[in-house]
Structure 1
Amino acid sequence: MTTILIVEDEQQIARVLQLELSFEGYETIVTHTGTDGLLAFHDQPVDLILLDVMLPGMNGLDVLKRIRKHNETIPIILLTAKSEIQDKVNGLDYGANDYVTKPFEFEELLARIRVALRFTTKAAPKQEQALEFEDITLNEQTREVWRAGHLVELTVREFDLLAHFMKHPRLVQSREQILNAVWSYDYFGDTNVVDVYIRYLRQKLDQPFQLPSLLYTVRGVGYVLKEAAHEA
């Protein structure tokens, strides 16, 4: 089912959008600030984003720019006020697919959503991009991960972290390097978040199958993906 992320600070508008889109058969995720919208985008898979421009804290255009650094293809439709002409121009320049002016007719919004999704589907590359290391296979196109023939369910952030390691095998990286590469936006927090997600990956990749971990801790430095150690 298609999932739409709604980033709208006016809760009444957000609730109406959620109800109407759910009625049309879409899954929805609702956030009310730019920061929460960005976190939701990174933490769970979505197919399209409805993004209000005027948001508290981090505004919609900043959110748009940060998402485009990470993902160039996900369709993003801006929700703008009638007077925000420059914001509309800037939004399209920054990579928005379309915009809808408030107040808008829901049928028009639906039509724009269908067009954006249809265009993205047609433009999607057909080739599959698979990364392999030891008994782990990661497919960037389907976003599937397999360990020793077992399908592993990962969140968006867990997938991106594993993909980063698989693109840089045997390279020891500090927490700061990992944070900068995977959490590509300005993350307001400490590097302990890396430790947390490494633990999540180990729990999902190793423990269920009683397999040795391929993600090693390098004390005083960070982490590395390398071949499992075999006892003599």
Structure 2
Amino acid sequence: MKILVIEDNESVASMIEMFFAKEGIDGEFIMDGLEGYARAKEGEWDCLIVDWMLPGMDGVTICRKLRQENETVPIIMLTAKDSESDQVLGLEMGADDYVTKPFSPLALMARIKAVTRRYNPQKLDANMIETSHFKMDKSTREVYLDGMPISNLTPKEFDLLYHFLQHPRQVFSREQLLESVWGYQFYGDDRTVDVHIKRLRNKIGSKDRDFFQTVWGVGYKFEESPSGNEK
């Protein structure tokens, strides 16, 4: 696993670097936002870990610019800002997850594994889903809506859509989605789900067609019948 860490706090960077060494992760560490942004575009990364407050360019701007350029690498924001509005802002700008300082290396590793989860490319048929509107290939990370490719989904948006396509019309709570899609149990992060649903609605929906239905007091469901299986 190859991870770029953009973090200007030397003690935090050193802690992450030591943990990466134990886990066998190839980490590159940069302390300046502008330099980190340029490096993020240059390399092939499994994940970016980006601090919120950085010299040169802040982490939210880095995240926003990368998403505007259709970079789909998973991004985890590190932040000392623990207010809900700050966390939602980071997710709105395209981060897949966030970790609030101070944090344990084990907690960070759990988030890294969750956002970088990859699938066995040899199981092509098992990774294919085709419905009346969508076609998704989990092994190649390709998704088509009515035959047109959708290339601007982040890794976690792809995983969330895939999960819903696997379970059409089934209602999921935010806690269930966090556990199934993000890979960790609910610890007060339910706004993460809301933000990702909103982004998916903006990317694949329209004012006349909303695939995601809010079930008030419960969660969300995806309303579409798989082609050839249900009428």
How does the TM-score come out when normalised to structure 2?
0.52
Could you tell me which runs of 5 or more consecutive residues in structure 1 were left unpaired when the two chains were aligned.
50-55, 75-123
2:213 corresponds to which of 201, 209, 216? 216
Cα distance change of structure 1 residues 14 and 178 upon mapping to structure 2, 3 Å threshold:
same
1:146 and 2:144 correspond:
yes
1:159 and 2:188 correspond:
no
Cα distance change of structure 1 residues 205 and 72 upon mapping to structure 2, 3 Å threshold:
closer
- Whether the 8 Å CA contact 1:138–1:146 is kept in 2: the answer is yes
Aligned length: 163
For the pair shown, which has the larger CA radius of gyration, 1 or 2? 1
1:204 and 2:203 correspond:
yes
1:221 & 1:186 partners in 2: Cα distance?
17
> What does residue 62 of structure 1 align with?
107
1:211 & 1:144 partners in 2: Cα distance?
24
- Whether the 8 Å CA contact 1:131–1:166 is kept in 2: the answer is yes
> Between the two proteins, what is the percent identity of the paired residues?
34
- Whether the 8 Å CA contact 2:168–2:224 is kept in 1: the answer is no
1:136 and 2:134 correspond:
yes
CA RMSD of superposed structures (Å): 4.4
> What does residue 110 of structure 1 align with?
none
> What does residue 52 of structure 1 align with?
none
Cα distance change of structure 1 residues 71 and 222 upon mapping to structure 2, 3 Å threshold:
same
> What does residue 30 of structure 2 align with?
14
> What does residue 50 of structure 2 align with?
31
2:137 & 2:195 partners in 1: Cα distance?
23
Letter in 1 for 2:30: A
Per-residue Cα deviation, 1:146-169 (whole angstroms, up to 9, x for no partner) = 110111221222212111111222
Equivalent runs, 1:69-88 vs 2, <5 Å: 71=116
1:70 & 1:223 partners in 2: Cα distance?
21
Could you tell me which runs of 5 or more consecutive residues in structure 2 were left unpaired when the two chains were aligned.
14-28, 53-58, 77-100, 226-231
Structure 1 residue 177: Cα displacement: 1.9
Cα distance change of structure 1 residues 26 and 193 upon mapping to structure 2, 3 Å threshold:
closer
1:190 & 1:181 partners in 2: Cα distance?
14
- Whether the 8 Å CA contact 1:14–1:30 is kept in 2: the answer is no
Letter in 2 for 1:219: W
1:187 & 1:46 partners in 2: Cα distance?
24
Q: Which moved more, 1:7-16 or 1:179-188?
A: 7-16
Residue aligned with 1:171, SS: coil
2:122 & 2:211 partners in 1: Cα distance?
30
Per-residue Cα deviation, 1:40-82 (whole angstroms, up to 9, x for no partner) = 8xx97448x9xxxxxx6223343224433564569xxxxxxxx
How does the TM-score come out when normalised to structure 1?
0.52
- Whether the 8 Å CA contact 2:178–2:185 is kept in 1: the answer is no
Cα distance change of structure 1 residues 58 and 187 upon mapping to structure 2, 3 Å threshold:
farther
